[in-house]
Structure 1
Amino acid sequence: MATAVQNGQATTAEMVTAEHLAEGRLYPPLSSIRDVSFKFAVKIIDYAYRNNMASWYPEPEDKETLVHSLIYSPDYDSFTMDGYHWPSQAMEIQDV
Protein backbone atom coordinates (compact mmCIF):
# COMPACT_ATOMS: atom_id res chain seq x y z
CA MET A 1 0.00 0.00 0.00
CA ALA A 2 2.94 2.31 0.62
CA THR A 3 3.78 1.98 -3.06
CA ALA A 4 0.29 3.14 -3.98
CA VAL A 5 0.72 6.22 -1.81
CA GLN A 6 4.11 6.91 -3.39
CA ASN A 7 2.55 6.54 -6.84
CA GLY A 8 -0.12 9.05 -5.85
CA GLN A 9 2.50 11.48 -4.63
CA ALA A 10 4.47 11.06 -7.85
CA THR A 11 1.33 11.64 -9.89
CA THR A 12 0.57 14.82 -7.96
CA ALA A 13 4.14 16.02 -8.37
CA GLU A 14 3.95 15.43 -12.13
CA MET A 15 0.92 17.70 -12.35
CA VAL A 16 2.53 20.66 -10.60
CA THR A 17 4.25 22.82 -13.20
CA ALA A 18 7.05 25.35 -12.75
CA GLU A 19 4.41 28.05 -13.20
CA HIS A 20 2.40 26.62 -10.28
CA LEU A 21 5.53 26.55 -8.12
CA ALA A 22 6.27 30.16 -9.05
CA GLU A 23 2.77 31.04 -7.83
CA GLY A 24 3.56 29.31 -4.53
CA ARG A 25 1.39 26.25 -5.17
CA LEU A 26 2.35 22.83 -3.85
CA TYR A 27 -0.60 21.11 -5.51
CA PRO A 28 -2.37 21.53 -8.84
CA PRO A 29 -5.04 24.26 -8.85
CA LEU A 30 -8.59 23.30 -7.95
CA SER A 31 -9.74 24.32 -11.43
CA SER A 32 -7.99 21.22 -12.79
CA ILE A 33 -9.52 18.80 -10.26
CA ARG A 34 -11.30 16.74 -12.93
CA ASP A 35 -8.08 16.17 -14.88
CA VAL A 36 -6.17 15.35 -11.70
CA SER A 37 -8.87 12.91 -10.60
CA PHE A 38 -8.89 11.26 -14.03
CA LYS A 39 -5.12 10.68 -13.97
CA PHE A 40 -5.32 9.31 -10.42
CA ALA A 41 -8.09 6.91 -11.41
CA VAL A 42 -6.08 5.55 -14.35
CA LYS A 43 -3.02 5.07 -12.11
CA ILE A 44 -5.15 3.30 -9.48
CA ILE A 45 -6.56 0.92 -12.10
CA ASP A 46 -3.06 0.17 -13.40
CA TYR A 47 -1.85 -0.50 -9.85
CA ALA A 48 -4.82 -2.76 -9.10
CA TYR A 49 -4.25 -4.94 -12.17
CA ARG A 50 -0.48 -5.15 -11.64
CA ASN A 51 -0.99 -6.32 -8.05
CA ASN A 52 -3.94 -8.70 -8.66
CA MET A 53 -6.30 -6.48 -6.68
CA ALA A 54 -8.73 -5.65 -9.49
CA SER A 55 -12.26 -7.02 -9.55
CA TRP A 56 -13.19 -6.08 -13.13
CA TYR A 57 -12.17 -8.86 -15.52
CA PRO A 58 -11.06 -9.21 -18.20
CA GLU A 59 -8.61 -6.35 -17.88
CA PRO A 60 -9.69 -3.52 -20.18
CA GLU A 61 -7.26 -2.79 -22.99
CA ASP A 62 -7.92 0.95 -22.85
CA LYS A 63 -8.18 1.94 -19.20
CA GLU A 64 -8.54 5.63 -20.01
CA THR A 65 -11.70 4.95 -22.01
CA LEU A 66 -13.05 2.88 -19.12
CA VAL A 67 -12.42 5.73 -16.67
CA HIS A 68 -14.02 8.25 -19.03
CA SER A 69 -17.13 6.06 -19.24
CA LEU A 70 -17.42 5.96 -15.44
CA ILE A 71 -16.72 9.62 -14.63
CA TYR A 72 -19.62 11.49 -13.09
CA SER A 73 -20.83 14.44 -15.11
CA PRO A 74 -22.74 17.26 -13.41
CA ASP A 75 -24.31 18.27 -16.73
CA TYR A 76 -27.96 17.33 -17.14
CA ASP A 77 -30.43 17.55 -19.96
CA SER A 78 -33.22 19.96 -19.28
CA PHE A 79 -36.22 18.19 -17.79
CA THR A 80 -38.53 21.17 -18.13
CA MET A 81 -41.00 21.31 -20.96
CA ASP A 82 -40.28 23.61 -23.85
CA GLY A 83 -42.27 26.80 -23.62
CA TYR A 84 -45.27 27.33 -25.84
CA HIS A 85 -45.46 30.58 -27.75
CA TRP A 86 -48.95 31.61 -28.71
CA PRO A 87 -49.37 32.66 -32.34
CA SER A 88 -49.50 36.44 -32.66
CA GLN A 89 -52.98 36.25 -34.27
CA ALA A 90 -54.36 34.50 -31.19
CA MET A 91 -53.06 37.29 -28.97
CA GLU A 92 -54.86 40.08 -30.81
CA ILE A 93 -58.16 41.48 -29.51
CA GLN A 94 -60.95 40.30 -31.75
CA ASP A 95 -64.11 42.21 -32.65
CA VAL A 96 -67.33 40.46 -31.84
Structure 2
Amino acid sequence: GKRERTAQAALSLEKELLLGVGAEAAPEGALSLGWKKALLYQPAGVEGLRPGPVTGVGGLFLAGDWIATGLPATLESAARSAGLAARAFLGKSGEE
Protein backbone atom coordinates (compact mmCIF):
# COMPACT_ATOMS: atom_id res chain seq x y z
CA GLY A 1 0.00 0.00 0.00
CA LYS A 2 0.88 3.67 0.09
CA ARG A 3 2.33 3.49 3.61
CA GLU A 4 4.60 0.60 2.67
CA ARG A 5 5.87 2.45 -0.42
CA THR A 6 6.46 5.59 1.64
CA ALA A 7 8.32 3.62 4.32
CA GLN A 8 10.49 1.89 1.71
CA ALA A 9 11.31 5.21 0.03
CA ALA A 10 12.22 6.77 3.38
CA LEU A 11 14.41 3.80 4.34
CA SER A 12 16.17 3.92 0.99
CA LEU A 13 16.89 7.63 1.35
CA GLU A 14 18.12 7.19 4.93
CA LYS A 15 20.47 4.40 3.86
CA GLU A 16 21.97 6.60 1.16
CA LEU A 17 22.29 9.75 3.25
CA LEU A 18 23.16 8.39 6.68
CA LEU A 19 24.84 5.07 6.11
CA GLY A 20 26.53 5.68 2.80
CA VAL A 21 25.30 2.35 1.45
CA GLY A 22 23.08 1.49 -1.47
CA ALA A 23 20.32 -0.99 -2.12
CA GLU A 24 22.41 -3.96 -0.96
CA ALA A 25 21.65 -3.11 2.68
CA ALA A 26 18.30 -4.64 3.52
CA PRO A 27 16.16 -2.95 6.20
CA GLU A 28 14.89 -5.16 8.99
CA GLY A 29 11.45 -3.56 8.90
CA ALA A 30 9.43 -0.39 9.02
CA LEU A 31 6.41 0.87 10.88
CA SER A 32 4.15 3.68 9.74
CA LEU A 33 1.71 5.27 12.16
CA GLY A 34 -1.19 7.49 11.20
CA TRP A 35 -3.06 9.86 13.48
CA LYS A 36 -6.64 10.97 13.02
CA LYS A 37 -5.90 14.25 14.78
CA ALA A 38 -2.92 16.46 14.08
CA LEU A 39 -2.06 17.14 17.73
CA LEU A 40 -1.75 15.02 20.82
CA TYR A 41 -4.50 15.70 23.38
CA GLN A 42 -3.02 17.46 26.39
CA PRO A 43 -5.33 18.13 29.33
CA ALA A 44 -5.32 21.48 31.13
CA GLY A 45 -2.43 21.84 33.55
CA VAL A 46 -0.01 19.61 31.64
CA GLU A 47 2.28 22.50 30.68
CA GLY A 48 3.00 23.13 34.36
CA LEU A 49 4.26 19.56 34.73
CA ARG A 50 6.74 19.80 31.85
CA PRO A 51 10.34 20.57 32.90
CA GLY A 52 12.48 23.30 31.40
CA PRO A 53 15.87 22.73 29.77
CA VAL A 54 17.95 23.39 32.91
CA THR A 55 18.26 20.38 35.23
CA GLY A 56 20.39 21.42 38.18
CA VAL A 57 22.92 18.74 37.20
CA GLY A 58 26.07 20.41 35.95
CA GLY A 59 26.33 20.28 32.16
CA LEU A 60 23.03 18.42 31.68
CA PHE A 61 20.33 20.19 29.68
CA LEU A 62 17.07 18.76 28.38
CA ALA A 63 15.45 19.01 24.96
CA GLY A 64 12.49 17.25 23.39
CA ASP A 65 8.82 17.65 22.58
CA TRP A 66 7.99 17.03 26.25
CA ILE A 67 9.94 20.09 27.54
CA ALA A 68 8.02 23.23 28.57
CA THR A 69 8.05 25.48 25.51
CA GLY A 70 4.57 26.96 25.44
CA LEU A 71 3.72 24.69 22.49
CA PRO A 72 1.96 21.32 22.54
CA ALA A 73 4.19 18.22 22.36
CA THR A 74 5.00 18.45 18.65
CA LEU A 75 8.03 18.53 16.38
CA GLU A 76 7.92 22.32 16.61
CA SER A 77 8.11 22.09 20.39
CA ALA A 78 11.10 19.75 20.15
CA ALA A 79 12.88 22.19 17.84
CA ARG A 80 12.12 25.11 20.14
CA SER A 81 13.36 23.14 23.17
CA ALA A 82 16.66 22.46 21.38
CA GLY A 83 17.15 26.20 21.01
CA LEU A 84 16.26 26.77 24.67
CA ALA A 85 18.72 24.08 25.77
CA ALA A 86 21.47 25.50 23.55
CA ARG A 87 20.91 29.02 24.87
CA ALA A 88 20.92 27.72 28.45
CA PHE A 89 24.19 25.88 27.77
CA LEU A 90 25.82 28.90 26.14
CA GLY A 91 24.69 31.11 29.00
CA LYS A 92 26.18 28.69 31.54
CA SER A 93 29.45 28.27 29.62
CA GLY A 94 29.88 31.98 28.89
CA GLU A 95 30.22 31.38 25.13
CA GLU A 96 27.38 33.67 23.95
| Common fold: TM-score over 0.5 | no
Q: Between Structure 1 and Structure 2, whose CA radius of gyration is higher?
A: 1
Higher relative helix content: 1
- TM (normalized to structure 1)? 0.27
- TM (normalized to structure 2)? 0.27
